[in-house]
Amino acid sequence: MKLSTKSRYSVTALYELALHYGEGAVPLKEVSEAQGISENYLEQLMSTLRKKGLVQSVRGAQGGYMLAKSPCAISIGEIITAIEGPIALVDCLLADADAKGQACTRAGACVTRNVWGKVGDSIRKVLDSITLKDLCDDNGTDENGYWAHGEGCGAELRKAKSAGRKKGAPRIARTGRAAGTDRKDGKEKAV
């Protein structure tokens, strides 16, 4: 399975909007410059993403685009599905094996169809488990754990920055996770 440029650029564009979440509309020119994507191409993508309810547009001099939902509520799988349609490795998985109009005449007797279905399910689960906020946490913070681009989708980091870190509170690592997090079991340990 190979993701299209449309999918990759859509995720990248919405990542940029997530970095500015809560700051109002972001002009496409700014997204284009920050992510190295053609402004005309972005306009086409944003039109589809707006129709699917992932972004809102604001007209006028201060216009642009902003996320329609919180970065925590938009998964990478949702973005890709909005642009590409259902995620399926083979066409025969887009309909029931015995459905009228099935792409493959052997779908009902195919020994490998279940394999491709399981692989597709695994891919969907992973893509649906990663949100725009996760991307921000992994890529959008500076060396002190604060948002490098405004403080877009990190309300908890904005609070921490304005209140100052309390004595004994775990410091925030560059990835936006608490330092000392054991990535294998996901448990956090204060450092």
Tell me what pLDDT residue 126 has.
95
DSSP bridge partners of 56: 66
The 3-state DSSP class for residue 56 equals strand
Q: Where in the chain is the domain with CATH 1.10.10.10?
A: 5-133
Q: Answer whether 174's CB lies under 8 Å from 145's CB.
A: yes
Tell me what pLDDT residue 141 has.
53
Q: May I ask the CATH class of domain 5-133?
A: mainly alpha
pLDDT, averaged in runs of 10, over the chain (191 residues): 89 93 92 94 96 94 92 95 87 76 77 87 94 83 49 47 44 35 42 35
The 3-state DSSP class for residue 95 equals coil
Threshold 0.75, pTM exceeds: no
Q: Strands 64-67, 55-58: parallel, antiparallel or unpaired by DSSP?
A: antiparallel
Distance CA 184, CA 191 (A): 17
The label of the residue with tokens 């991307």 reads 135
